[in-house]
Structure 1
Amino acid sequence: MVGMRLQVGRVCDGWLLGDFGYALKTWLLTRLTNPQTDRECRYNDAHSHTRSVVERAIGQLKCRWHCLDRTGGMLLHRPNKVCHIVLACGVLHNVTHRHGIPLGEVVAPAPDDLDPEPVYVLPNQQAIQARQRVIAAI
């Protein structure tokens, strides 16, 4: 749902981050396969670090709220209801965290070098320029 909003331009101030299993888009940034400059290396490091934080957060939510983990990656409800379920799980997770209720065992996310093989789709020029603008700002 967020990706569709980004794709049609309804959200202008953000990006999704994807691993090598995704094609570069103007709204979905992927790592560079062969960084050449310090800025490109910093971009890849920032991308990996951010994805790691997000993956850890998703792992914690799935660990605490099994309704998110046992679905095979898909909640079988309307997208609007799924958004409410995930939001409620996030709010409840924050409440339990503030009250010191232990999470239980959390499985560590896989290291970044276990990303799927790169998708060899030629990105369009606008997508390449969008990623270059982000890299230039680092």
Structure 2
Amino acid sequence: MDRETFVKGQLEAVQKALTKYEVPLKPKHARRLIVGSHQERSSAVFWNAVNKIQLEKNPVMTWKFCHLLHKLIRDGHRKVPEESFRFIPRIKQLGQFWKHLNTSGYGICNETYSRLLVDRLEFHRKYPVMPGSLMLTESQIKNA
């Protein structure tokens, strides 16, 4: 698969995953992005796609973004947490935006989920040896 097709597929997966409809995140879209992060050895394509979407438009989109990012941190390439550090202000801003809007039941949920993601990323910054999955091998435990 050439680079252009890959990027187009990743953009499509982000757009299909982050919809305003109150339906669960489809595993195939999340899986496509997770596999893409491993193929690229980076989350740059994901972040480029997300930055083009105005997540403040809909609280469900923000919730799905948080859920998708959580999955990427856990199952994506090992660089995902590190590359996501620079987006901590954006994640915090999203949480604060929805916290102050009482237009839906998602406000407090989005604020709490975004805070959890920020805490998770700060944890990975403090302990870079910890993989996103939080699973260590015996040798990693002995060397720590």
TM-score normalised over the length of structure 2:
0.31
Larger Rg: 1
Determine which structure has the larger strand proportion and give its number: 1
Determine which structure has the larger helix proportion and give its number: 2
**Structure with larger RCO (C-alpha < 8 A, sep 6+):** 1
